[in-house]
């Protein structure tokens, strides 16, 4: 059994081990439970308390002795439903807080002009920001489009361009020659694409729009640089227009 699935929905490693041990053992005392789950006796009580609060464990008292048992496996789905409900409620609260946080940032008088983002999730969040900030009919530009060696980049771009096309956002793209005919299908929707010749190909991708530029390195340890600068965007646009004139269709 892949225990990571239960951990992905919010159970800790210890909670997962104890819950599975309860399913295997049935009604049991803490000593046998701790041994079967591979957790210390000192921790098993705290774990059982957390599982009980999540609706996944219970107990009965027989002759002044507590016997613990797992709740029905269907309760895992109920726990997940309850967790999703709480997250939706928290999202509403956070959304109401965003304007206040933005105001605090403006009042500070400071503006970050360049920020480094590490990892796949950080980079994909930047691309999500593009679609959140632009409106139907707006255009963003890509210089040096490629997928790189990072596993997961193709499925991500597939979803990204599907959402982009649905929102009516345009993209004007200069892709590397070696991916000609190999782009994810949604990329072609509502887009203009040309291909950079071999001598201009690079592993560096530059995405820009309005006053924002993103430089992405799709390496095994991906990184991105977010630059908020009108001058930088104007400079990248000049490079883009020059390369657009010599790129192949």
Of 246, 222, 235, 209, residue with least CA distance to 146: 222
Maximum mean pLDDT: which of 35-39, 85-89, 145-149, 152-156: 35-39
Report the DSSP beta bridge partners of residue 228.
Answer: 212
Q: Once rounded to an integer, what is the mean pLDDT over residues 197-210?
A: 85
Q: Once rounded to an integer, what is the mean pLDDT over residues 123-146?
A: 92
For residue 36, what pLDDT band results from cuts at 50, 70 and 90?
Answer: very high
**Cβ-proximal residues to 148 (8 Å cutoff; 6+ apart), any chain:** 203, 218, 219, 222
User: In the Cβ-directed half-sphere of 153, how many Cα atoms lie within 13 Å?
Assistant: 19
pLDDT, position 107: 63
Determine the Cα–Cα distance for residues 43 and 247; give it in Å rounded to an integer: 64
pLDDT, position 139: 97
Is it the case that residue 202 has pLDDT exceeding 70?
A: yes
pLDDT, position 106: 66
Q: What is the mean pLDDT of the chain?
A: 86
Position with higher pLDDT, 173 vs 3:
173
> How does pLDDT run across 38-73, given as a tens digit for each residue?
999 889 999 999 999 888 998 888 888 889 988 888
Is residue 195 within 8 Å of 189, Cβ to Cβ? no
pLDDT, position 32: 93
Q: What percent of the chain has pLDDT above 90?
A: 40
Is it the case that residue 26 has pLDDT exceeding 70?
A: yes
pLDDT, position 208: 95
Of 133, 120, 112, residue with least CA distance to 208: 133
> How does pLDDT run across 70-119, given as a tens digit for each residue?
888 888 888 888 888 878 877 877 777 777 777 766 665 555 567 888 88
pLDDT, position 108: 58
pLDDT, position 104: 67
Determine the Cα–Cα distance for residues 127 and 114; give it in Å rounded to an integer: 16
Domains and CATH numbers, the chain: 1-109 (1.10.10.10), 114-246 (3.30.870.10)
pLDDT, position 150: 64
Is it the case that residue 133 has pLDDT exceeding 90?
A: yes
Is this model's pTM higher than 0.85 or not?
Answer: no
């Amino acid at each position: 059994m892949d225990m990571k699935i239960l951990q992905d929905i919010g159970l800790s490693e210890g909670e997962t081990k104890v819950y599975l041990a309860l399913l295997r053992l049935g009604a049991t005392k803490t000593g046998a439970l701790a041994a079967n789950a591979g957790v210390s006796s000192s921790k098993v009580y705290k774990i059982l308390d957390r599982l009980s609060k999540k609706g996944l464990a219970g107990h009965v008292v027989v002759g002044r002795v507590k016997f613990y048992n797992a709740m029905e496996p269907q309760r895992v789905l109920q726990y997940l439903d309850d967790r999703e409900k709480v997250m939706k409620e928290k999202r509403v609260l956070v959304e109401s807080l965003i304007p206040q946080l933005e105001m605090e940032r403006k009042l500070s008088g400071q503006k970050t002009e360049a920020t480094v983002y590490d990892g796949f999730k950080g980079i994909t969040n930047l691309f999500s920001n593009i679609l959140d900030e632009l409106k139907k009919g707006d255009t963003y530009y890509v210089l040096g489009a490629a997928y790189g060696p990072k596993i997961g980049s193709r499925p991500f771009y597939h979803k990204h361009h599907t959402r982009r096309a649905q929102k009516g956002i345009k993209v004007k793209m200069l892709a590397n020659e070696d991916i000609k005919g190999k782009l994810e299908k949604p990329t072609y929707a509502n887009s203009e694409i040309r291909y950079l010749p071999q001598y201009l190909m690079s592993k560096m991708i530059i995405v820009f729009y309005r006053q924002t530029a993103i430089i992405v390195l799709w390496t095994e340890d991906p990184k991105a640089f977010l630059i908020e600068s009108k001058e930088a965007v104007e400079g990248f646009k000049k490079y883009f227009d020059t390369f657009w004139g010599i790129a192949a269709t």
